[in-house]
Amino acid sequence: MTRSPADAPGLRRRFWETVPLNRMNAAEWEALCDGCGKCCLNKLEDADTGEVWFTRVACRLLDGETCRCGQYENRRAFVPDCVFLSPATLPDVAYWLPGTCAYKLLHDGQPLADWHPLVSGDPDSVHKAGISVRGWTVPEFEVPEEDWEDHIIEDL
Ligand code: SF4
Ligand code: SF4
């Protein structure tokens, strides 16, 4: 039987309901990520309005099936502008994170969804619920940047 993600070492019981983001320990902060992979999609931003559109063109390091970064520990050696999400940076980047993102939800005072692995107890529930990017991204080395707007996703 697979252990629930919520029972991983270092996590306080249902910490996401009781511990403020800036009081979570490192294990809790990492466990908040549902593994959807959406934040690894390339985005287009209107410089005047700040409006953001996600595309299905994925970062070169994203594995389109596992929805995980292929070089998470060393990713900045390959992708220097990869955003480092922390309690300090979250307020500045929350505006473009997808509406399903656990960090954004808690930042906005919203609960985690039933399909979040911490809630469901199933690491694959984010994929089974159709929330992740599994199976529908295209690698950025296959699409020139000037064509990204042809791959905009209307609702993410
Ligand atoms: S969008 Fe949020 S929950 Fe999804 S992979 Fe990125 S940080 Fe994790
Ligand atoms: S470097 Fe890794 S974590 Fe950063 S956007 Fe790319 S795939 Fe995602």
List, for residues 54-102, the tens digit of each pLDDT value.
999 999 999 999 999 999 999 999 999 999 999 999 999 999 999 999 9
Rg from Cα positions in the chain: 16
pTM over the 0.85 mark: yes
Q: Cα(78)–Cα(69) distance, rounded to whole angstroms?
A: 11
Question: What's residue 6's pLDDT?
Answer: 97
Ligand 1 atom closest to Cα of residue 37? 5
Q: What pairs with residue 62 in β-bridges?
A: 69
Instruction: Determine if residue 101 is left, alpha or beta; phi over 0 gives left, psi from -120 to 50 gives alpha, anything else beta.
Output: beta
Q: Which of 43, 59, 73, 74 to mutate to test the pocket of ligand 2 (most atoms within 8 A of CB)?
A: 59
List, for residues 7-56, the tens digit of each pLDDT value.
999 999 999 999 999 999 999 999 999 999 999 999 999 889 989 999 99
Ligand 1 atom closest to Cα of residue 98? 1
Measured torsion, CA atoms of residues 109, 37, 71, 143, in degrees rounded to the nearest 10: -130
Question: In 33-155, which residue ranges form alpha helices assigned H by DSSP?
Answer: 75-78, 90-93, 102-107, 117-120, 125-128
Whether ligand 2 lies within 6 angstroms of the CB of 82 is answered as: yes
